[in-house]
């Protein structure tokens, strides 16, 4: 009788192990690469209650890479923080992209910040959706390159340095008078036509502006305003992704 009881337990253990291995095999692997000539502190944020990758934030030295597997259905974003200074307890601040003065972010980055956004296929949908967004402004160049997937799987990114083209009214000036980031027009002026809100809250009533076109001209494949979908949303199936900060042209 005892031997017969052990068989179902062994089967359950086997099924459990297969489930773990299946999730591991089907995980999407994100590789983060720092091609900047200075240290950055990538931030990560999950938007649908799934795994928080990299504990929300970490340091990444010039030339370094790190990898994180994400489960099917994962949705979230990555960004670079610059000019950070944290103590041994992980408290501090960053010049750009700060997330509440913590090394390990619990929320998104403070604009202006360049974003890599993902929704990984899961359940009934196997297709991934991803983009590079400058809707919240720009702080560093950013690129997303898929590998091993099927479908369109195009490169998304902002390779050009937007800061030299940033209008003065959008500039964020740091220590020593150096321009460290470029704000969105929404953040600078907070009006419906720039924020796609109130009576400008639809694709028909909120279009590109001279300010969003500055971002679009520099980075044609990146989101430049809220409804910039047609040229900026990318799709792929079964891919891993290389996210490069300060990618070369």
- For 36, the 3-state DSSP assignment is coil
Residue 45: strand pairing partners = 77
Instruction: Decide which of 249 and 150 is more confident.
Output: 150
Q: List, for residues 4-28, the tens digit of each pLDDT value.
A: 444 444 444 444 433 443 444 468 9
Give the per-residue pLDDT at 26.
67
Q: List, for residues 75-94, the tens digit of each pLDDT value.
A: 999 999 999 999 999 999 99
Query: Among residues 87, 89, 94, which one has the least CA distance to residue 109?
Result: 94
Supply the DSSP string of 78-102, one letter for each residue: EEEEBS-EE-TTSBEE-SBS--SSB
Query: Among residues 48, 55, 56, 50, which one has the least CA distance to residue 70?
Result: 50
Q: Determine the distance from the C-alpha atom of residue 26 to the mean position of all C-alpha atoms in its chain, rounded to a whole number.
A: 21
Domain chopping of the chain, boundaries: 30-245
Q: What global pTM score does this model have?
A: 0.87
3-state helix, strand, coil in the chain (%, to 5): 25, 30, 45
| Type and span of the H or E element at 34 | strand 28-34
Q: List, for residues 137-166, the tens digit of each pLDDT value.
A: 999 999 999 999 999 999 999 999 999 999
Q: So what CATH class is 30-245?
A: mainly beta
């Amino acid at each position: 009788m005892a031997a017969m009881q052990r068989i179902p337990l062994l089967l359950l253990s086997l099924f459990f192990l297969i489930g773990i291995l299946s999730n591991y095999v089907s995980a999407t692997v994100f590789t983060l690469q720092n091609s900047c000539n200075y240290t950055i502190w990538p931030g990560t944020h999950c938007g649908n209650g799934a795994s928080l990758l990299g504990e929300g934030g970490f340091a990444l030295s010039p030339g370094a890479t790190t990898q994180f597997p994400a489960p099917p259905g994962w949705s979230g974003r990555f960004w670079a923080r610059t000019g950070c200074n944290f103590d041994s307890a992980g408290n501090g601040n960053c010049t750009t992209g700060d997330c509440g003065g913590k090394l390990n972010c619990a929320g998104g980055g403070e604009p202006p910040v360049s974003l890599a956004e993902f929704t990984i296929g899961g359940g009934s949908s196997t297709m991934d959706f991803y983009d590079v967004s400058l809707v919240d402004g720009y702080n560093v160049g950013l690129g997303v390159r898929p590998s091993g997937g099927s479908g369109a799987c195009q490169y998304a990114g902002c390779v050009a340095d937007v800061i030299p083209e940033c209008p003065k009214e959008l500039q964020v000036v740091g220590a020593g008078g150096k321009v460290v980031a470029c704000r969105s027009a929404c953040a600078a002026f907070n009006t419906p036509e720039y924020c796609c809100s109130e009576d400008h809250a639809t694709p028909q009533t909120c279009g590109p502006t001279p300010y969003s076109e500055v971002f679009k001209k520099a980075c044609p494949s990146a989101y430049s305003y809220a409804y910039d979908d047609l040229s900026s949303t990318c799709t792929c199936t079964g891919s891993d992704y290389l996210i490069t900060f300060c990618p070369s042209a």
